[in-house]
A and B are shown apart, each in its own frame.
Chain A
Amino acid sequence: MLSIAKTNFMDDFTRALEITQPVDLTVLANYESIQLEGEPDLIVELIDLYADDAPQRLGVMRQSVAERNWRGVKKGAHSLRGSSGSLGAQLVAQRCQEIELLTEDTWGSIPALMSCLEVELERALYVLLAVRTGRSE
């Protein structure tokens, strides 16, 4: 019983550690298999697209918050969640999902959630751009 409990604890602990990583690099690694020979590095291209697009989407969300356009905020979060998940930016995706799940009663949380989202996006971009630099060298 004790060994099972210890194993479960280690599994949960390991999972918790994994979830704190801003980027799941195995997601990116999976894309190696679809690299077309002779074509530009797909992973670098995907990171470039995300690095350009994600901050813009965040900016639109900030604007929507300022205008109290809650539908716009949720739509923005939904879009950003999709692209973030595709690049393994799991914490960004999680923050986006939390924003999508907000209701009229819980909209007071939006400033805090937006701040968390901005931090997570910055962390994810830091890791992704480091990966990009490593692949470009």
Chain B
Amino acid sequence: MARPPNQTSQRVLIADDDPVMRHLLRSIVTKEGYDPVVVEDGREAYRILQSDADFRAGIFDMMMPHLEGLDIIRYMRTEKRLRRIPVLMISAEQDLQLMAKSFVAGATVFLTKPFNPDQFLATLRILLTNKTTPAPLPPG
């Protein structure tokens, strides 16, 4: 059954192919009082988002098997019901071009690995208190 958008949702979708990172992100998000929904790759995240928009935020690794983080964000920004969900993109690359690509695709914040819990928490709080809806993709 499809889950519509929910502005008061406590659920956070996490997609990362690294089991260490998945466990870490799950722990931090849980400790912050949210309900993590954790998947192993981009394809799983895409499958969930096709029928479930009930998320407060998304946290995606940039490089994943099958479907990358950027592809998921681009998909989300084309769907009205998913457009308002802010996204944190995580990458092991400190590459300004990649960062720019993420923001153009529709990411709200960007964080490079490795990061310590305080850095992640600060970024997560920015993400979850973000009141601005990401801009839709330009036409064409």
Contacts and interface: CB of A to CB of B under 8 A. Distances in A.
The size class of the interface chain A forms with chain B is 20 to 34
B62 to A, nearest CB: 10
A53 interface: yes
Given A79-B18, A81-B92, A86 B27 contact: no
Given A34-B27, A46-B23, A49-B20, A82 B92 contact: yes
Contacts of A126: none
Interface of B: 17-21, 23-24, 27-28, 30-31, 61, 63, 92, 113-114, 116-118
Given A78-B92, A82-B92, A46 B24 contact: yes
Contacts, number: 58
B117 A30 contact: yes
Given A49-B20, A81-B92, A85-B92, A34 B28 contact: yes
Contacts of B116: 27, 30
B117 A83 contact: no
B88 to A, nearest CB: 15
Nearest to B21: A86
Contacts of B17: 79
